[in-house]
Amino acid sequence: MDPFYGPGRNQLFVPGPVNIPEPVLHAMNRNNEDYRAPPVPALTKKLLADVPKIFKSTTGTPFLFPTTGTGAWESALTNTLSPRDRIISFEMGQFSLLWIDQMKRLNFDVDVVHCEWGTGVDLEILRTKLEADKEHKVKAICCVHNETATGVTNNLAAIRTVIDDCMHPALFLVDGVSSVCAIDFRMDEWGVDVALTGSQKALSLPTGLGIVCASPKALEATKTAKSLRVFFDWNDYLKFYKLGTYWPYTPSIQLLYGLRTALDLIFLEGLDNVIARHTRLGRATRLAVEAWGLKNCTQREEWYSDTVTAVVIPPYIDSTEIVKRAWKRYNLSLGLGLNKVAGKVFRIGHLGNLNELQLLGCLSGVEMVLKDIGYPVKLGSGVAAAAAYLQMTTPLIASRV
């Protein structure tokens, strides 16, 4: 028995892990099986054909590691770079900070651009650095597409333009953990060399798959990359791809069946419709925040995230109390403020298999909590603003038209 049982469904609005849809839960509810018998390779073959679609890539090679986003980071770095290689990376929140920490611990020479939390990549700084790098010592530019700690989405197309303008050959490695399958991501068009995500975010699966997609240039780089790698070595995978058995070690079988269904659901809705749904949910959340008289941690509209909103609360309130109370009183799970913004922001995750009415439930919960803790909010104000917008913009469900 769950000692923390609460009636009804937990309203899970942390920015990952997110709700798992029923069809995915059912697809994963199965026994183990011999992964060397024909069904798992057949399933994997189809998955590998479909996974690049979520990155909008036709040229990328996908890898499905039994790991998390952190492992996917490591795979991207160690397969393409050698120890002491120089990387330019931007620290703008807890996840970009953690990736940079990993880069340093893996012995890369990281040129860290510190950005104020709530802002995104400064393109002019990137341009200056690349222009100054006449000898092409910089081997990679690493960027978190959507900084989950602050709700900042970076403009990858603009970063690619700067790299191209400078005619710089560095690899472009992108963390799409809280963006892929929710925010437009065009791996081929934007010249992303390694794109990666984690299963527990917009794919709405359990944690446990680190999904990596490598461009032809990244695969080429692997041939000379001297970083130590074992578990995450792409070459081991490629060897088994050739053999048609696909797995250098035991795959997470149930997760693969879950991934099949998760992809089917996304393709049934249409990836661009999924992205449009996130655009609506993001906008609705921001309208509610505005109606409550609160600020978005994200400093400029161009960086607004459609998967997570970090809400800044007045200094007389500790945002940790908001998160605690939401869970204790309303069975609502919100995201804590992390590191530099701990106590100052709480986060509403609005990603994955989620609809308009679920979001409105969350927003009404947030209003009640704000009132509970003494913030002067008019109950219904945020919900009304969000509902007015959603009522105007929500399309018919494609499969029911």
Beta-bridge mates of residue 24:
none
Q: How far is Cα 89 from Cα 105, in angstroms, rounded to an integer?
A: 14
Give the DSSP letter string of 232-301: T-HHHHHHHHHHT---SS---HHHHHHHHHHHHHHHHH-HHHHHHHHHHHHHHHHHHHHHTT-EESS-SG
C-beta closer to ligand PLP: residue 72 or 275: 72
Give Cβ neighbours of residue 2 (< 8 Å, ≥ 6 apart).
Answer: none
Cα distance between residue 259 and residue 265, in whole Å: 10
Which residues are near ligand PLP by CB under 6 A? 16, 68-70, 95, 144, 148, 175, 177-178, 198
Buried b (16+ CB within 10 A) or exposed e, 207-238: ebbbbbbbbeebbebbeebebebeebbbebbb
CA distance 103 to 84: 10
Taking the C-alpha atoms of residue 86 and residue 337, their distance in angstroms, rounded to an integer, is: 31
The residue of the chain with the least Cβ separation from ligand PLP equals: 69
**Please, what is the minimum distance in Å from the beta carbon of residue 178 to ligand PLP?**
4
Give the separation between CA 4 and CA 88, rounded to whole angstroms: 44
Closest separation in Å from C-beta 200 to ligand PLP: 6
Quick one: 95 or 234, whose CB is closer to ligand PLP? 95
CB of residue 336 vs ligand PLP: minimum separation in angstroms?
Answer: 12
Distance CA 204, CA 356 (A): 16
- Cα 129 → chain centroid: 27
Query: Distance between CA 369 and CA 321 in Å, rounded?
Result: 9
CB of 205 to ligand PLP, least distance (A): 11
Select 55 or 241, whichever has its Cβ closest to ligand PLP.
Answer: 55
Query: Is residue 86 annotated as involved in ligand binding?
Result: no
What is d(CA 157, CA 190) in angstroms, rounded to the nearest whole number? 5
Q: Which is nearer to ligand PLP, 148 or 222 (CB)?
A: 148
**Region for 185 from its dihedrals, namely left if φ exceeds 0, alpha if ψ lies in -120 to 50, beta otherwise:** beta
Nearer residue to ligand PLP within complex by CB, 68 or 299: 68
Give the shortest CB-88-to-ligand PLP separation in angstroms: 18
CB of 94 to ligand PLP, least distance (A): 8
Q: Which is nearer to ligand PLP, 51 or 383 (CB)?
A: 51
Least distance from ligand PLP to the Cβ atom of residue 103, Å: 13
Binding-site residues for substrate sit at 347
Binding-site residues sit at 347
